[in-house]
A and B are shown apart, each in its own frame.
Chain A
C-alpha cells in the first residue's frame, strides 16, 4: 500500500485510541471526584494530560472547566476535540482506502462532539452522559473496523497504531496515578481508580481474588497477558500484527522493526523478574524511549518519511 496511506491509517488509529483512553480516564476520575476523592486535584490532571509547554499552561478552578478544557477546547493541542479532528483529517486523506462505513462512523463521531448538546451536558448538566455518548462513538469505530475492513496491510497498520498508543496510554495513566499517590494519604484508592480507568477493575476482582494489593495491580497493568490494557498484552499484539507484514515488506526493513519489538518484550520480561513497585519508575521512561525509537524507524522504513 501507499506509504502515505499507511502513515495516515496508523495515526488515525493512534489518535482514536488516545481519545478512547482519555475519555475512560476522565469518566472514572470525574466520578471518583464526585463521590470518593473529594479533594481531587484537577490542576494535576490538566498539567499531565494538557499542554505542558509553559506559555500554553492553563489554570483551572473547577472540574467543569477542566473537563471543558480537556474534552471540548478547540485550540487545545491535546483535547479530545482536537484528537477527533485529527482522526477525521487522517481518515479524510485515506477516504478511498478505508471503508465507507468507517468514514461515516468517524464523521458521526465528529458531528457528535460538535453537537451543542455535548457541550451543554459537560458545562451545565451531567458530564458522564456526554462522556458515555462519546465513548459509544469510539466503540462503534472499533466495531466498524472489525466488521468492514479487509484484513490487509491497512488493517495491520491500524492495529499497530492502536496497540502502540494503548501501551503508551497505559504507561501515562499509570504514571499519573503514581503522582496522585505521592500527594495522597493512602495509596490504595488510587490503585483502584487506575484499574477503573483502564476498564480493568472487574477483571481484577475475578482474576486476583484478594483485596486490592499494589503488587497485584501492577502485575495486571504491566504483565498480565489476559488483560487487554496491559503493557505485555499490547506488545504481544504489536508483534502479532507486525508479523503479518513479512511477505509484503523489504526483508531488511522487516527484520529491523521485528528486532525492536522483540527487544521491548524482552525488557518487560526482565522487569517482571525484579518484582518491585519501585522498578516501575524506571520501566516507564525506559519503555517510552524504546517506543520513540520504534516510531521513528517505522516512520522511516514504512511510511517513507525521512
Chain B
C-alpha cells in the first residue's frame, strides 16, 4: 500500500469534501504526485519546508510590520503541498466565473446608466442606494469598451458534496496574484521535475495578459501608450505585489505624488519633465483616488484625476464604483442578474444570504446562530465576522447589539464547511480547509483566466478562516491539463 503512510495520520473531517481522498481512498488526480513522494520521509519534507521559508526570506517576499523605525519581516505562511485541481473541475470553474463576470459587468453598466434592473424590480432600489460603495459620481460616465471589472478575484469554496460556490466577488482591487506566481516559483525549487511530470498548466502568462489588456485601454492614438501602476506606497501590505507586477510588466510604479493633472490630462513627473499617462492600473481605493472629488484628506491620490477620467483622457483600472457589485448584500442577487442580463442558469452556486435589516431573516438567523456566520457587507480580511459555532454566548449577545444598531451593514449565511486538502504542518500531513481565488482579466477581447489561482489555507486545525490577517497561509494551486 504505497499511500498508507500518507493516510495513516490523515483524518478527514466529517461532512467535509476532502480533495485528496474519499473514504480512505486516494483520488486519481493526487496519485501521481503522491507516488513521487513515496520515497520521501517526513524529514525530507521538513527540509523542503525549511528551504521554502529561506527562499521567501532572502527574496524579500515578506510583509513588513513597523516598530521603532525598524521593520519586522514576516513571511506569508506557505504550505509546500500543492493543491491539485482536475482539468474538468477547472473547465467548470472557468465557465462559471466568466458567466458571473459578464453579468456583474452588465450590472455595473446598467446601474450607472439606465438602472433597468431596478426599474424591473429585480433588485430593490434601496439595496443600491444604501450601499456605501455606490458612487454617484459614476452615474452617466461612459467607461472605455463598457468594461468595469478588468481585474477580479472571485473567491470559490467547495461544500461537503464537492460543488463549487462563489463566496465573494472581489471587483475593486483584488490582491494575491503575486503569491499565485511566487508560490509556483517555489514549487519548482522544492519539487524539481514534478510540474512537467504532472502536466501542470502554467500561470506565467498572467503579467503579459494583464499588460496586453492595459495597453488596449488607452484612448490616445499613440503607438506606445504609457501605462502606470498606482500604489499607495511602501507601507501598504500589498506593496510587494505592486512592485512584482510593475516589474513583470515593465511599467512605472507610481505614487500619487508622482502624478499631476493639467488641462484634464494626467502626467507623471520625470527627470526630463512631464510625461503624459494613458492608463492607470490603480491599487488605491476609490475614496482616495482624487481628493477634490472623494476623500479630501487623501494623500494617496491625484487632484483632478476624476475629471481627466470623465473626459476620457485617462483609463482607470478597475473602474471606480465597482464596490456596488461586490457588496455582500448585493451578492445574493447575482443569480438573478445572470438570469436577467444573460438569460442563463448560474453555473456556480451562491450561498443563501439573509439580510439583517429584514426582521424575519434576523429572527431566523439568531434562532440558528450556531450554524450561521454573520459578516459586515463591506468588510474584508476576515475582520468583524461572527462565526456562530465558535463563539461564546456573550460574544453572540454583544454582536447582536452591534447588528441592531445598523442592520443594513450586516448579512448572515449558513456556515459552509470548506473543502480540505493535505498540508504539511508540524512534521505531519494533515487536512486543512481552503478556498480558491482565481484571477480573471476582462479586456476588450474577452475574459481570460490563467489556469490556477491563490489557494488560501486556514492553518489552524478545524478553522474555516483563511484570511492572511487571521492565521491563514497559502499554497501552490495546480490545474492539470
Does B bind A? yes
Q: Which residues of A contact B58 (CB under 8 A)?
A: 104, 107-108, 111
Q: Cβ of A74 and Cβ of B70 under 8 Å apart?
A: yes
Q: Cβ of B271 and Cβ of A302 under 8 Å apart?
A: yes
B401 within 8 A of partner (CB): no
Interface string of A88-118 (1 = CB under 8 A from B): 0100111111001001100110010000000
Q: Which of A60-110 contact B (CB under 8 A)?
A: 74-75, 85, 89, 92-97, 100, 103-104, 107-108
A1 within 8 A of partner (CB): yes
Q: Report if A85-B70 is in contact (Cβ < 8 Å); known contacts: A92-B234, A95-B243.
A: yes
Q: Which residues of B contact A245 (CB under 8 A)?
A: 271
A239–B239 Cα distance when bound, in Å, is 36
- Distance of A185 from chain B, by nearest CB (Å): 43
Q: Cβ of A1 and Cβ of B271 under 8 Å apart?
A: yes
A3 touches which one: B234, B244, B246, B270 (CB < 8 A)? Answer: B270
Q: Report if A95-B233 is in contact (Cβ < 8 Å); known contacts: A74-B70, A104-B59.
A: no
B360 within 8 A of partner (CB): no
- Distance of A241 from chain B, by nearest CB (Å): 13
A95–B242 Cα distance when bound, in Å, is 9
User: Which stretch of B74-82, B123-131, B192-200, B253-261 is in the interface?
Assistant: B253-261
B247 within 8 A of partner (CB): yes
Q: Cβ of A4 and Cβ of B247 under 8 Å apart?
A: no
Give the interface size bracket for B toward A.
20 to 34
A96 touches which one: B59, B69, B253, B257 (CB < 8 A)? Answer: B253
A108–B257 Cα distance when bound, in Å, is 30
B398 within 8 A of partner (CB): no
A226 within 8 A of partner (CB): no
Residue of A nearest to B253 (CB): A96
Q: Which residues of A contact B270 (CB under 8 A)?
A: 1-3
A248 within 8 A of partner (CB): yes
Q: Cβ of B243 and Cβ of A249 under 8 Å apart?
A: no
Interface string of A112-138 (1 = CB under 8 A from B): 000000000000000000000000000
Residue of B nearest to A249 (CB): B272
Q: Which residues of B contact A1 (CB under 8 A)?
A: 270-271
A150–B76 Cα distance when bound, in Å, is 31
- Distance of A108 from chain B, by nearest CB (Å): 6
- Distance of A26 from chain B, by nearest CB (Å): 21
A153 within 8 A of partner (CB): yes
A304 within 8 A of partner (CB): yes
- Distance of B252 from chain A, by nearest CB (Å): 6
- Distance of A77 from chain B, by nearest CB (Å): 11
Q: Cβ of A248 and Cβ of B271 under 8 Å apart?
A: yes
Q: Cβ of B271 and Cβ of A249 under 8 Å apart?
A: yes
Q: Which residues of A contact B271 (CB under 8 A)?
A: 1-3, 6, 153, 157, 245, 248-249, 302-303
Q: Report if A4-B257 is in contact (Cβ < 8 Å); known contacts: A96-B243, A96-B246.
A: yes
Q: Cβ of A103 and Cβ of B60 under 8 Å apart?
A: yes
- Distance of B443 from chain A, by nearest CB (Å): 22
- Distance of B144 from chain A, by nearest CB (Å): 25
Q: Cβ of B272 and Cβ of A304 under 8 Å apart?
A: no
A89–B234 Cα distance when bound, in Å, is 8
Residue of B nearest to A247 (CB): B272
Q: Which residues of A contact B59 (CB under 8 A)?
A: 100, 104, 107
Q: Which of A1-46 contact B (CB under 8 A)?
A: 1-6
A70–B210 Cα distance when bound, in Å, is 47
B352 within 8 A of partner (CB): no
Interface string of B52-65 (1 = CB under 8 A from A): 00000111100000
Residue of B nearest to A250 (CB): B273
Q: Which of A232-249 contact B (CB under 8 A)?
A: 245, 248-249
B284 within 8 A of partner (CB): no
A104 touches which one: B60, B234, B268 (CB < 8 A)? Answer: B60
Q: Report if A4-B70 is in contact (Cβ < 8 Å); known contacts: A248-B272, A302-B271.
A: no
A301–B105 Cα distance when bound, in Å, is 45
Q: Which of B233-252 contact A (CB under 8 A)?
A: 233-234, 239-240, 242-244, 246-247, 252
Q: Which residues of B contact A249 (CB under 8 A)?
A: 271-272
Q: Report if A100-B234 is in contact (Cβ < 8 Å); known contacts: A2-B270, A111-B57.
A: no
A121–B352 Cα distance when bound, in Å, is 62
Q: Cβ of B70 and Cβ of A2 under 8 Å apart?
A: no
A89–B239 Cα distance when bound, in Å, is 12
- Distance of B60 from chain A, by nearest CB (Å): 4
B68 within 8 A of partner (CB): yes
- Distance of A161 from chain B, by nearest CB (Å): 14
- Distance of B167 from chain A, by nearest CB (Å): 32
Q: Which residues of B contact A94 (CB under 8 A)?
A: 253
Q: Which residues of A contact B92 (CB under 8 A)?
A: none
Q: Which residues of B contact A100 (CB under 8 A)?
A: 59, 247
Q: Which residues of B contact A96 (CB under 8 A)?
A: 229, 242-244, 246-247, 252-253
Q: Which residues of B contact A4 (CB under 8 A)?
A: 255, 257-258, 269
Ordered by A's residue number, 20 sampled pairs between the chains whose C-beta atoms are within 8 Å are A2-B254, A2-B268, A3-B258, A4-B257, A6-B271, A74-B69, A74-B70, A75-B69, A92-B234, A92-B243, A94-B253, A96-B246, A97-B253, A104-B59, A104-B60, A111-B57, A248-B272, A250-B272, A302-B271, A304-B269
6 nearest A-B residue pairs (beta carbon): A96-B246, A95-B243, A107-B60, A96-B253, A96-B247, A96-B243
Known: A93-B233, A100-B59, A248-B271. 13 other contacts (CB 8 A): A1-B271, A2-B252, A4-B269, A74-B70, A85-B69, A85-B70, A89-B234, A94-B253, A96-B253, A108-B58, A157-B271, A249-B271, A302-B271
Interface residues of A (CB under 8 A from B): 1-6, 74-75, 85, 89, 92-97, 100, 103-104, 107-108, 111, 153, 157, 245, 248-250, 302-304
